[in-house]
Amino acid sequence: MRAGGSGEGASGALGVRSRINAAAETKRMAHVTPGSAQAMVYERKLAEARAYQAAVDPQAADYPHLAAGIGVTGDNVVAVTIIN
C-alpha cells in the first residue's frame, strides 16, 4: 500500500485528486467566478506544454505547471506535455 493510501490503487488516486481539485476550487472561488480558475490553470498548462515542445533545450524548472504534474499525470515533463 502506498504511504497515506487506502490500497485502492488508481481509483483511489483519482478520488484523492478529485478531493484536492475540489478543495482548490473552493479556495479559488474566494477570488474568481467558480470554474473559471480551473479553466485558467488548464489554459496555462496548455501554453506551457506548447512552449516546452517548441523549446530547443527546455528545462522543467521553467515550466512550473508542467513540473507540478510530474508523478501525477506523467513520469516526466515530456509525458505531462503529451497528456496536455
pTM: 0.60
pLDDT digits (tens, 9 = 90+) for 29-75: 777 776 777 788 889 999 999 999 999 999 999 999 999 888 888 89
- The distance in angstroms from the start CA to the end CA of the chain is 29
In the chain, how many H helices and how many E strands?
A: 4, 0
d(CA 74, CA 45): 13
Separation in Å, CA 23 to CA 29, 40, 78: 10, 16, 28
